[in-house]
Structure 1
Amino acid sequence: MSEPFDVVDLIHRKRDGGVLETAELQWLVSRFTTGYVANEQMAALAMAIFLQGMERREIYDLTQAMIASGERMDFSSLSRPTTDKHSTGGVGDKITLPLMPLVASFGAAVPQLSGRGLGHTGGTLDKLESIPGWRAELSNEEMLQQLEEVGGVICAAGAGLAPADKKLYALRDITGTVEAIPLIASSIMSKKIAEGTGALVLDVKFGTGAFMREEAKARELARTMVDLGKDAGVKMSALLTNMNTPLGKTIGNANEVRESVEVLAGGGPEDVVELTCALATEMLALAGITDVDVREHLRGGQAMDVWRRSIEAQGGDPDAAMPTPKFSHEVRAERDGVLVRQDALAFGQSAWRLGAGRARPGAPVVHAAGIDLAVKPGDAVRAGDLLWTLHADDASKFERALEALDGGWEIGDEAPQTQPLILDRIS
């Protein structure tokens, strides 16, 4: 049987700035998934898309074709409205952990299908696996049951969701096309739409520790993804958030879980609380739950109840002792002054070198490794004050972790200008 299209023709057209039709994109993704379209050809097309871009309709068709490559989840049997959040990833970004139970405690269902970390950005599943017994892999039946009974679930996305995306992502990673906005947007949104949620809030980060460093690029990505979701019938909004400085006072796995539990107990760092509450308000509004005081509710303890029940439902012990590091190294101030800069990328890479992250997919992480921050930008320090503590299970890792921090922070004489954590809302 002859093929209706020639992949080389499609590569030529996109390379020269042309537009691909709906049927062409459907055929291309389908035949790439089955192996008829070779990796080299898809890599060439990815580069053409990176250089020439795509129209809104093309990105929608690409996304829908990737959804069609696998299964779709259906939450219509639930008695609660579904609402979800996706973050583009950052340093110290543990927001999913307090956010899921907070939103679920208002009566919404929160299906957080999460991933693992690679490089300097941490993975939600890696953090939760610090809890003894907790398991990430759930069947669809277990997920639905937990959403109905507990209200929220954080678990691994099944391999059946948008398999074309997994195959294309692996190619983008080795061909210099990861930053192509049409490919990022279709990658994220194909999985989220296939997941079946009725509403989705995006946390799109910009800054040194973010996937998109430039604010303008992050804004373009947020706009593209919001439009994609709306075109597919999902209620959407996005927050544009600052990732020049690590979020909260912990970077790692076990220590980020501890900080999340502090937030659920009514404490925790203000930036983590601010972003958690802002995203919760967005998620609840899209689910039709309005006129609520999210901060007051967080202090009330209902979210902590959902957290404990969700951990137990996935085999974990919410009261178990968390992993502790074998070795710690303190960094102290050499002069009086004010911390004026704390570069998110430098601290993320340092935590990664300590063992908190992985260099290749499937490698283990050290759950106790990471960094605890004693100060954040704007805090006054005296000579000898503790700045941060590095944790590792192998003391030889401290040297390279400290090298990563070189030039990544600065103590000055005057407080820095404060930057808002949430720059804008896009809907």
Structure 2
Amino acid sequence: MSAARSLLSALRQGHRPDVRDLTAFAEGLADGSVSDAQAGAFAMGVCHTPLLPDGRAALTRAMRDGGEVLQWDLPGPVIDKHSTGGVGDCVSLILAPALAACGAYVPMISGRGLGHTGGTLDKLSAIPGFRTEMQTDEVQAIVARVGCAIVGATADIAPADRRLYAVRDVTGTVESLDLIVASILSKKLAEGLEALVLDVKTGSGAFMSDPVAARALAQALVETGQANGVMTSAIVTDMSQPAATSAGNALEVIAAMEALTDPGTRRSARLVALTRALGGEALALGGLAADAQDGAARIDAALTSGAAAEIFGRMVAAQNGPTDFLERWRDRLPAAPVVAELRADRPGVIGRIDARALGEIVVTLGGGRQREDDIIDPTVGISHIAQLGAVVTEGQPLARIHASDSEIAEEAATRVALAIEMEQGAVTPPPLVQEVIR
């Protein structure tokens, strides 16, 4: 019996495979000796018989090592951040250059959006000419010269994950904790990191809306990252409302640029607070700050001084975007032909926001994907979204809908109105940072 068949037989009988068998199976996924049918059976088997922490760490390590692992010789630590996905989450665009301004090197491998959560690469693709697909040597040269790069994974990065991810989608095994951890970390650890901070979202717009499940994922990610020799921590953060006050690709680039060039604005306050929390933890993990509080202060300084913005502009130019983007970003970003305003039909307080519904509205406007091959309109989305706890008067704007035509905008406005609920009396939003797991 082949090693793959033996492992699948053990899983079917409820036996957890050992480290050696998991390693061999991951190698088979990478080199093609494991079939798609066997990959699907493995995914289903792990759902029924979850792996122990050492097995999860071994699977992750083998999936990482089945492809290219970046090597670095730099005068500072190589650090990154990963988010489990949400709505209006453009933190990566701010955090990568802010970390670089503090002495870190950030080779951020990111993805495209699918479903209600947006993708970092889609946001950056709203910038004219911006290249997200690059070879490893190009990425390494930009990181060494600029301090950061944000790119997609090459075919040589964690090829086992690419195969397993595809079968998870069609076999209904996407939500397996073990497979989520291995998928996220096999790609991130292939960056050759010294430190990694994970933003695990919970709330209405999160991939894992249940706080108990989110905490379990955060704990598993931290354990697995540390077991593979990378300083790792996770921050469980609130996604009961969008991270920014905008959702949609070009609109989120605008939100990020506002945070980079004017971090004191009211509209970017939540975004900046999230960037400070994640960046402070990352700098502490990487030895560039005494602790997370000191790291947050350093991130603040990088934003307020303009150092982070300057590095972002250099990164855009290095990745084939406009060389004058930092000075002329408002002119360079595309805009939707129709902008409609949704106004409150009565006074009250914003009591609940269905962030997932807002993300799904962006998709139907054309700003996201329902299938992997869908074409995205970078101009559409929702901006100026009212925040939880805000007191509003009758007729006050609750959101702006950016659409390709008036009819679509009107339909979207009706749906946005249903996603933003008004209450009477004071409303206290959940804390942005809910727990730090180290």
TM, length-normalised to structure 1? 0.95
**Structure 2 residues not aligned, in runs of 5+:** none
Query: Following superposition of structure 1 onto structure 2, how do residues 376-395 of structure 1 map, counting pairs within 5 Å?
Result: 376-395=387-406
Moved over 4 A (4+): none
2:34 is aligned to: 37
How much does 1:81 deviate?
1.3
1:214 is aligned to: 210
Which residue identity is paired with 1:271?
A: R
Which residue identity is paired with 2:25?
A: L
How much does 1:404 deviate?
4.4
How much does 1:24 deviate?
1.4
Deviation larger for 393-402 or 79-88: 393-402
Cα distance in 2 between the residues matched to 1:169 and 1:141: 26
Deviations, residues 187-206 of structure 1 (Å, cap 9, x unaligned): 00111111111110000111
What SS does structure 1 have at the residue aligned with 2:222?
Answer: helix
Match of 1:131 among 127, 132, 153: 127
2:94 is aligned to: 98
Which residue identity is paired with 1:206?
A: T
2:360 is aligned to: 349
Which residue identity is paired with 1:312?
A: A
- Would you say how many aligned residue pairs link Structure 1 and Structure 2? 423
2:310 is aligned to: 305
Query: Following superposition of structure 1 onto structure 2, how do residues 19-418 of structure 1 map, counting pairs within 5 Å?
Result: 19-75=16-72, 77-267=73-263, 268=265, 269-290=268-289, 291-292=294-295, 293=297, 294-317=299-322, 318=325, 319=328, 320-398=331-409, 401-402=412-413, 404-405=415-416, 407-418=418-429
| Cα distance change of structure 1 residues 64 and 297 upon mapping to structure 2, 3 Å threshold | closer
Q: Are the counterparts in 2 of residues 353 and 397 from structure 1 also a CA contact under 8 Å?
A: no
What SS does structure 1 have at the residue aligned with 2:229?
Answer: coil
How much does 1:131 deviate?
1.1
Cα distance in 1 between the residues matched to 2:240 and 2:283: 28
How much does 1:329 deviate?
2.2
| Cα distance change of structure 1 residues 395 and 170 upon mapping to structure 2, 3 Å threshold | farther
1:10 is aligned to: 7
Cα distance in 1 between the residues matched to 2:10 and 2:410: 51
Superposed CA RMSD: 1.6
Cα distance in 2 between the residues matched to 1:325 and 1:186: 39
Cα distance in 2 between the residues matched to 1:302 and 1:384: 40
Cα distance in 2 between the residues matched to 1:396 and 1:384: 21
Which residue identity is paired with 2:41?
A: A
Which residue identity is paired with 2:321?
A: G
Deviation larger for 91-100 or 141-150: 141-150
Deviations, residues 176-220 of structure 1 (Å, cap 9, x unaligned): 110100000000011111111111000011112111111111111
Q: Are the counterparts in 1 of residues 16 and 49 from structure 2 also a CA contact under 8 Å?
A: no
Which residue identity is paired with 2:57?
A: Y
Which residue identity is paired with 1:189?
A: L
Q: Are the counterparts in 2 of residues 80 and 108 from structure 1 also a CA contact under 8 Å?
A: yes
What SS does structure 2 have at the residue aligned with 1:250?
Answer: coil
Deviations, residues 245-303 of structure 1 (Å, cap 9, x unaligned): 11121100111111111111133421101000111111111111114523233211111
| Cα distance change of structure 1 residues 400 and 69 upon mapping to structure 2, 3 Å threshold | farther
Q: What percentage of residue pairs aligned between the two structures are identical?
A: 40
What SS does structure 2 have at the residue aligned with 1:195?
Answer: coil
- Higher helix residue share: 2
Cα distance in 2 between the residues matched to 1:374 and 1:187: 32
